[in-house]
Amino acid sequence: MRSIDFGGACLAVAALAALPLLNPGEYLLGVLTLGLIYGIWAAGWDFMSGLTGRANFGYGLFIGLGAYFGGFANTLWRTDPWMGLPIGVGVGVIAALLVGLPTLRLRGPYFALAMLAASVVMERLVLILWRYTGGDEGLNDLDPLVESHVAFYYVALAFLVGSAAILLRLSHSRLGLVLRAIRGDEAACQAAGLDVTFYKIGSLMISAAFGGLGGVLYAHFQLQVSPQLFSMQMAMAIITMAYVGGLGSIYGPVVAAIVLTLATELLRPFGAWRLLVYSILLIIALFLARDGLVAPAWQALRRALSRGRDAAPEPLRQARSPGTSA
């Protein structure tokens, strides 16, 4: 059964790796690269919010902080762009700890509200501190991570594959089991002797690490950092990808991120239309496809495939697929 998952993943990665060979042109390749970066974000968001069921409306906080600090490192301190990556990860993790400590030890809506407020305020703060952050203009003239667009595409692909592999691995580990238990019933987790707060903050820090990583990649891809990274619209797009992909599945949001980025890029000239599409997609997903589209589609496909190979079902693995309760 696992071999089908592995096979599917290899096939998908091989297809993505082969795409530049078709000579798609710089523009399309750029859009694809953006999709890969969104994939890292969607997987990172899903790891915390999809598994534990704690809505995070301020994921832009981690993305923006990662991108800005990566940008500062590059433009102010003239460090190598590659050095920005660990900086972005570190900044994301620290921010997660700072926001998580006061809010995640509480039950109820405090985390959701505080994350939203924190990202909105950070966007304001960037504008207020324009002397250092460049205000609306943001940071410009960053060094590229690698010279050619094709090379950057492969760098982004490598990071996406690595991130998704790590997050998938973790979500099927004991840590993932505990996080899904937290989504089910926090009090029962405590009765099982688990420090729920510790696990929630830990998963937020892991989630934020990938937000920061993607932020730095994005900065060195656009060669520019702007305050919109902190915005609700940013978080909203990522949340929609996770919902369309299937909460808690990690791979679903990754696929949805790539597909949606490509699809909505067609709407880029219309700016607002693109975000309107995301909001409407999210509403539709909430009502009509509670488990998303990508993950259930894959589950159905692999059932069909495995029925072809041998008839024995494996209830245990199926049960680990994301539940219906959000």
The binding site for other proteins (CB under 8 A) comprises: 49, 53-55, 57, 99, 101-103, 106-110, 112-114, 116-118, 120-121, 124-125, 127-128, 174, 177-178, 180-181, 184-185, 187-196, 232-233, 236, 239, 243, 270-273, 275-276, 278-280, 282-283, 286-287, 315-316, 319-320, 322-326
CB nearer to other proteins: give 101 or 297. Answer: 101
CB nearer to other proteins: give 72 or 199. Answer: 199
- CB-based contact 12:132 (threshold 8 Å): no
Least distance (Å) between residue 3 CB and other proteins: 20
Least distance (Å) between residue 278 CB and other proteins: 7
Least distance (Å) between residue 225 CB and other proteins: 20
Least distance (Å) between residue 166 CB and other proteins: 20
Pairwise CA distance, residues 176 & 121, whole Å = 31
CB nearer to other proteins: give 24 or 135. Answer: 135
Least distance (Å) between residue 313 CB and other proteins: 10
Closest by Cα among 122, 130, 135, 206 to 168: 206
CB nearer to other proteins: give 148 or 190. Answer: 190
Q: Cα angle at 165 between 161 and 170, to 5 degrees?
A: 155
CB nearer to other proteins: give 22 or 271. Answer: 271
> In Å, how far from its chain's centre is CA 264?
17
- CB-based contact 130:191 (threshold 8 Å): no
CB nearer to other proteins: give 64 or 84. Answer: 64
Least distance (Å) between residue 206 CB and other proteins: 17
Least distance (Å) between residue 21 CB and other proteins: 37
Q: Residue 166: count other Cβ atoms within 10 Å of its Cβ.
A: 16
Closest by Cα among 257, 159, 259 to 213: 159
Could you tell me the two tokens for 30? 């750029």
Inter-CA distances, 252 with 69, 207, 211, 321, Å = 29, 16, 17, 11
> Which residues, at least 6 apart from 195, have a Cβ–Cβ distance to it below 8 Å?
none
List, as one string, the DSSP characters of 307-326.
HHH-----HHHHHTS--S--
CB nearer to other proteins: give 63 or 99. Answer: 99
